[in-house]
Amino acid sequence: MLPPGRRVRTADAFGRAVRGGARAGRTTLVVHLVTPTGVQEDGPTPPPQPAAAGFVVSRAVGGAVVRNRVRRRLRHLVADRLDVLPDGSELVVRALPPSARATTDELAADLDGGLRTAQRRRRAGGAR
């Protein structure tokens, strides 16, 4: 389980990651990643927030039991990887229908590959 401070909860945060973040698609999931830009407005700089993650698992993945199982598996995998992201990052993982039949190893490989690609795209300056 992700602690409350490590969860993306608001519609604004989800929208910021999905619309403005670097996207990397794989067979079982799509990763959307927003990292902090480092540019602050005038005034004191707030302390950095830890990286946070959110999940989108639609009905296309399966029934409620299947969706909750996929979400739990993804949450477990992401919790182990959040510490490698820069503080202030927002990660949204969108599960695709093949994730319902994927093994945990397949999900982990797709998540790792998606994170690598999204981070590389953010560093290169391209959001998509």
Render pLDDT for 98-111 as a digit per residue (tens, 0 to 9): 999 999 999 999 99
* Whole-number pLDDT of residue 12: 92
Assigned token pair, 16: 């910021």
pLDDT range class, residue 126, cuts 50, 70, 90: low
CA distance 18 to 31: 9
Instruction: Look at the alpha carbons of 66, 69, 75, 80 in this order and tell me if their dihedral is positive or negative.
Output: negative
Residue 52 Ramachandran class (φ > 0 left, ψ -120 to 50 alpha, else beta)? beta
